[in-house]
Amino acid sequence: MSLKQELQIWSNALDAFDVQDFNLSVSLFQEISDSSKILFNLGLIHATIGSHAEAVEYFDQAVSLDQYLAVAYFQEGVSNFLLGRYEVARRDFDDAFVYMRSNLTIDYEQLGLKFRLYSCEVLFNRGLASIYMGLQEQGMTDLQAALQEKQTDEHSVIDEAIADRGDGYTVFSIPVGILFRPSANKLKNLETKNYLGQAKLIAATDARDAFTGFSGTNPPPPLTNPQRSESDPSEGGGLSRSKTSAARLESSGDGVARPLRRRPTVEEMGGQPIDRVANWARMNTGAPPPLQQQQQGSSGTISRESSASERGGGGGGMSRARMAMAQQRQGGLMRQGAGARGGRVEMGDGAEEFEGMTMFMGEREMSKVRVKLRYQGDTRGMSITPDLAHQDFVERVRIKFASEFDLPMKYRDSDGALVSIIDADDWESAMDQAREAAQGRAEGKLEIMLAES
């Protein structure tokens, strides 16, 4: 399935969800459920309609594809808490807190989810799960820790829960209606655009031309040229050809006029055109006959004999001049491609490949870069565009690894050396390395090593 088709199905599923057609939305999302974002959306939809058992299964699949997706652990814990599985819910909240990596908050809006996950909410939910398990002191410890990390006015409920020792309170959760959504720019490009517009008839001199379609099969109207007189070119103001004059006769030295010499016609020669080289080649073998060329100069007539190398040599063979003319008629000189494999031929500047033959049409501009990120023994992947700014890439990496600080980066160049990425110039050099690795393809590759800040 192409990216455009996947985005279209994603958009249709979101439209169905927005009008509360949850069955259609789930059915559409299941067609593209091969990413953690879509699986997370399926879990949220089932949680919205109260099917928390099915929601837990989708959240489990989401974290299996992206183990650092802290918000999926968080929401899975909410569903388990509402199912009365307090011990399992407490483990889910504990995993969410671990993958927050000591950050007070993680903003997922850049990834398409308009939601901020706060560490105080994770601690509060874990404390409530402990209290409902009967671990009163352990739960109150988590509530006190959540009190120290409050971020917004909505978190004032933590003070009230501590005063009531968690009795009668429920967990924080993602609000209803929040799902992962593609960016507006991607959806805008899905629309088909007519750059040529619609043809419009402005004027027609004939009723038969009153249409805007293709008229290639219609016969043209007959030409109506006025008759012109050859005898009087002045009438009607038209053009007339000049009168035919007698052919000039050549005169010999004795004063007797001789008829003008002309080349014999094909019929006069027996119906076959004259080709002296071909006739001689059929009757002789070996080297071709010497070619006598007459050149009239100021000092008299000079006769020279062209060598066999000038004519290409070999009896009956095609001369280099004829070969060059034949190649020009075929549309360009063919040259054997350097390093080509099995019948690979370059023709001009072009490129097309047919059954063992490749004609080069030029390189494509790199439009996507696949980045391989290595950090603490873990390898992650990311797809970016070559025009992504350096600071935006640093922010995306920080969010992907849930790091509170920017992670130092190094990329591996073509010599195998590690080069640090500190500013925009270093980032541009890294993109040049990706273009070099692309070798004219639309997709480049880049390997980046991350370290603790």
Token pair 């640090």 in the structure block, residue: 420
* 356 close to 350: Cβ distance less than 8 angstroms: no
Q: What is the mean pLDDT of the chain?
A: 76
- Report, as an integer, the average pLDDT of 229-250: 50
Tokens representing residue 362 in the block: 């030029």
Position 2 scores a pLDDT of 82
CA 41 → CA 7, 32, 339, distances in Å?
A: 14, 11, 50
pLDDT at 115 over 80: yes
Full-prediction pTM beyond 0.75? no
Q: Bigger pLDDT: 283 or 324?
A: 283
381-414: per-residue pLDDT in tens?
A: 888 998 889 888 888 888 888 887 788 889 888 7
CA 149 → CA 85, 105, 126, 169, 284, distances in Å?
A: 26, 10, 14, 19, 104
pLDDT at 354 over 50: no
pLDDT at 57 over 90: yes
| Domains in the chain with CATH codes | 3-187 (1.25.40.10), 368-450 (3.10.20.90)
136-151: per-residue pLDDT in tens?
A: 999 999 999 999 999 9
Going by the DSSP 8-state scheme, the letter that residue 224 receives in this structure is -
Q: Which of 60-64, 300-304, 444-448 has the highest mean pLDDT?
A: 60-64
- Report, as an integer, the average pLDDT of 181-186: 85
- Report, as an integer, the average pLDDT of 196-207: 68
pLDDT at 75 over 80: yes
Lowest mean pLDDT among 17-21, 122-126, 152-156, 350-354: 350-354
Q: Bigger pLDDT: 186 or 112?
A: 112
Percentage of the chain surpassing pLDDT 70? 62
CA 120 → CA 147, 156, 213, distances in Å?
A: 7, 11, 68
pLDDT at 257 over 80: no
Position 339 scores a pLDDT of 40
Position 89 scores a pLDDT of 95
Q: Bigger pLDDT: 203 or 128?
A: 128
The amino acid sitting at 84 is G
